[in-house]
Amino acid sequence: MNDQTTRRRPILTLKLPSTTTEARLQEVAQQAARQKRLGAWKASRDDIMADLAARFPAAFGKRSKILPLARGIHRALAEACPDLDLWTIKQACQRRTTWAPYLEALAADGSTRYLLDGSPAPGDRGTVTDDERQHAQRLLKRRVKK
């Protein structure tokens, strides 16, 4: 036997720098916090929507006429509800604006957007563009197909 066949290669080990390990631990902690927050949101979303409906019945109340909300309404909600964090407000707005009756109101011809008090939104914040109307119609058609 020659030297090359009897010699063993050394086993290589990879040592991760401590910053990579710390970054990974921080990432895992952030994911756990996200999951906890999402679980809390799902558990309390009906309570939050009921709270918004009580505070702003014109915008979030369950009544016969659903009103399209003004663009940037989450900022007005953040000012009016300092007890709710921005993430919760955005999730509530997302839930409301993907609701089929809301999309139907948005897709209607001549629809306008409204503020929290139920008054029409001024300027560009209050107009429903043709692109938005067509997008709402596409979403509704896609839901019917399923």
What's 127's DSSP letter? B
Distances (CA, A) of 89 to 11, 72, 108: 54, 11, 26
pLDDT in tens, the chain (146 residues): 555 556 777 776 666 555 667 777 888 888 888 777 766 656 577 788 888 888 998 888 876 678 899 999 999 999 999 988 888 888 889 989 999 999 999 999 888 999 999 899 998 888 899 999 999 999 999 988 76
Alpha-helical (H) ranges within the chain are: 3-6, 18-55, 57-60, 73-80, 86-97, 100-107, 130-145
The domain spans of the chain are: 20-145
Q: pTM, whole model, 2 decimals?
A: 0.66
d(CA 144, CA 146): 6
User: How would CATH label the architecture of 20-145?
Assistant: Orthogonal Bundle (1.10)
Q: Which amino acid is at 25?
A: L
d(CA 112, CA 105): 9
Among candidate residues 29, 104, 119, the one with its CA nearest the CA of residue 70:
119
